[in-house]
Structure 1
Amino acid sequence: MKYKKSSYLLFLLMLLSTANIFAQPGQRILAVIAHPDDESIFSVTLYKLAKEQHATLDLFVITNGEAGYKYSTLAEQYYGCKLTTAADAKKRLPTIRKKELHEGGKVIGISNYYFADQSDSHYTLNEREPLDTSWQVIKVRKQLHELLLHNHYNEVFCILPEAETHGGHKAATLLALDEVAALPADNRPLIFGAALHDKGDTARKFSALKGYSLTKTTSSLPSFVVDRTVSFSYLNRINYKIIANWELAAHKSQGATQMTMNDGDLEEFWSFNINTVNKKDEADSLFAKLNQSPYKTDEPKLVNPALALQLQQK
């Protein structure tokens, strides 16, 4: 009897071992951003990855966000403390903004947060300012490199480094591109730059940020799009903007950001040239899944036209 029991246990161990060999690792995603709230630019994509595709979603945040105090007027009442001077912001905003980020992260499904705790000095369009002055770049590079090396991400998302965007946003993307490019080609995650767009606006084009060859993209137009306005539920009256607004609402200290509530119909993504050609099918498959919705929709033919018109007018 003892022999049979031992043999059975050995057989189970062999089965488990074989299963581990053939098990496919889950999708792992990393978003690299400069400030707590930058993830709002592609929050619906992150939500769909984490909540609908069940990916592990990590966030790497470079600064404490203490420079974002000038529009914190209403947040002073909400949090019960002074925030609208540089001295007060430096003392209190880093803790508040991390708390807000965790609250927003609950909405979109962030699994792990990694903070580089760098200084957020002031608004600038110059990407060299944070890279050459405010940030401890060697430290940030090392932390980001170790994350990429040990966590084996499938995709990395960052903000499209357009000339007119925040210098910190551009600097964060440049560091992400550098560290992804430093990995062996076979072990690189795909990396994408994101921007928000309204359907009625002129098409946005981007080829590269002048002076930085790694920012070159495979096309001047976005390679992929995730539509926030896809409608579903009863009478198809709700869409993914609800998720974007929930996530954005968590960042209460950022008054100017709060004023963008409900902006942005499309989350557009440019594929950078460093993405290996043999992973094109992987990228196509990823965004094909992201453009599917698991939620039930009402067929228009089943809706009473008079009732639908009445509801739309409310």
Structure 2
Amino acid sequence: MKSLPLFALLTGMFSGFAQGPKVLIVTAHPDDETMFPVTVFKITRELKGIADLALITDASGGFNGMVASKYYGMNMLDSVVGRKNLPLIRKKEMMAAGEILGIGNYFFFDQIDDYYNRNEKPYLQGKNWDIGYIERRLDAVLAKGQYDFIFCLIPHEGQHAHHKASSLCALRAVQRYKGPNPPIVLGGQAANKGYTFTFSALEEYPETAISPAAPVFEFDRSFGFGEDNKHSYMIVADWVKAAHKSQSGDMNQSMHRGELETFWYFALNGEKRIPEVKQLFENLKKSGFPTK
């Protein structure tokens, strides 16, 4: 019997290992991923999965870096200074955070990060953003990436218009998806234990409806382990937040807060795929340093 070359044997061995989940994160701004960084970290670092990130805006907004002004040597509270310098600075910060998270690929859509407001319509209607470009690019990214999951932010009424519009773009891309197994879309949000926030849908947008058959999936990043329980995955969230130095005001308020990463299951995924998400979160809790 002719023996196989060592390379062929090794190839056969490794091809038998199941690949971890493939995730595309769709967000409006650098630092939005701080809503669910531990889930992403565990997927890439412990489950050996893949995570890519699609950033919708050009990151030219966010003038709250009072302490960051000393770090960068410029007035980060000034909009003129910010519009000129923040796109590059914030993308570099996001990629520094992405190094911690294990992000593989970045897709920059460079739509205007104009100002804080809650009216998503001008963005979705193509008045403030090139919505046609976003749709074509997202379709291409999904077709090539063959993702298992998409993570976006919960598009609730109180959210920034950019957040709502970006999440709706992700949901609509899945509705247009031509493949046999569209990615499952989950809306993520950090929360404290005992939270009372509820979400069923964003008015006027039926694609945002949450499935009543699915639980809210949670990962407790505050669960202690190791010597004297002084370790927890909260440190990962803090590492990621600390990378966003230009947003020193917002990050200072959020540091070491939000014990839970919560994920809401959109009805458009179909009830038959709920077990896939349950399995993902069971795997997350068992992997690395097990949590409850």
**TM-score when normalising by structure 1:** 0.84
Match of 2:153 in 1: 159
Tell me which amino acid in the other structure corresponds to 1:286: L
1:188-267 correspondence runs (5 A): 188-201=182-195, 203-219=196-212, 222-258=215-251, 259-267=253-261
Match of 1:92 in 2: 85
Alpha-carbon distance in structure 2 between the residues aligned to 1:78 and 1:18: 51
Q: CA deviation at 1:87?
A: 1.7
Using a 3 Å threshold, how does the CA distance of structure 1 residues 137 and 179 change in structure 2: closer, same or farther? same
Instruction: Work out which of the residue numbers 91, 96, 99 in structure 2 matches 1:103.
Output: 96
Post-superposition Cα deviations, 1:63-108, rounded to whole Å, max 9, x if no partner, equal 1221101x12221210122332222111100000011011111222
Q: CA deviation at 1:296?
A: 7.5
1:127–1:167: 8 Å Cα contact kept in structure 2?
yes
Instruction: Tell me which structure has the larger Cα radius of gyration.
Output: 1
2:214–2:265: 8 Å Cα contact kept in structure 1?
no
Using a 3 Å threshold, how does the CA distance of structure 1 residues 112 and 82 change in structure 2: closer, same or farther? same
Post-superposition Cα deviations, 1:241-291, rounded to whole Å, max 9, x if no partner, equal 111111001101113321211121111111001113332221111011112
In structure 1, the residue corresponding to 2:261 is in which secondary structure? Answer: strand
1:36–1:64: 8 Å Cα contact kept in structure 2?
no
Using a 3 Å threshold, how does the CA distance of structure 1 residues 198 and 14 change in structure 2: closer, same or farther? closer
Instruction: Work out which of the residue numbers 275, 283, 286 in structure 2 matches 1:281.
Output: 275
Q: Which runs of 5+ in 1 are unaligned?
A: 298-314
Using a 3 Å threshold, how does the CA distance of structure 1 residues 221 and 167 change in structure 2: closer, same or farther? farther
Identity of aligned residues (%): 36
Tell me which amino acid in the other structure corresponds to 1:271: Y
Post-superposition Cα deviations, 1:101-132, rounded to whole Å, max 9, x if no partner, equal 11111222111111111110000111113333
Q: CA deviation at 1:143?
A: 1.1
1:120-199 correspondence runs (5 A): 120-131=113-124, 132-184=126-178, 186-199=180-193
Structure with the bigger RCO (C-alpha within 8 Å, sep 6+) is: 2
Alpha-carbon distance in structure 1 between the residues aligned to 2:186 and 2:139: 17
In structure 2, the residue corresponding to 1:268 is in which secondary structure? Answer: strand
In structure 1, the residue corresponding to 2:193 is in which secondary structure? Answer: coil
Q: CA deviation at 1:12?
A: 8.4
Instruction: Work out which of the residue numbers 39, 43, 66 in structure 2 matches 1:73.
Output: 66
In structure 2, the residue corresponding to 1:180 is in which secondary structure? Answer: helix
In the alignment, structure 1 residue 291 sits paired with structure 2 residue 285: yes
2:214–2:274: 8 Å Cα contact kept in structure 1?
no
Moved >6 Å (runs of 4+) = 11-23
In structure 1, the residue corresponding to 2:212 is in which secondary structure? Answer: coil
Q: Which runs of 5+ in 2 are unaligned?
A: none
Question: How many matched pairs?
Answer: 289
1:206–1:221: 8 Å Cα contact kept in structure 2?
no
Q: CA deviation at 1:43?
A: 0.8
Alpha-carbon distance in structure 2 between the residues aligned to 1:224 and 1:282: 12
Q: How well do the aligned residues superpose, as a CA RMSD in angstroms?
A: 2.5
Instruction: Work out which of the residue numbers 50, 53, 59 in structure 2 matches 1:59.
Output: 53
**TM-score when normalising by structure 2:** 0.90
Alpha-carbon distance in structure 2 between the residues aligned to 1:242 and 1:214: 35
Alpha-carbon distance in structure 1 between the residues aligned to 2:117 and 2:89: 23
Alpha-carbon distance in structure 1 between the residues aligned to 2:25 and 2:48: 16
Alpha-carbon distance in structure 2 between the residues aligned to 1:261 and 1:221: 30
Tell me which amino acid in the other structure corresponds to 2:28: A
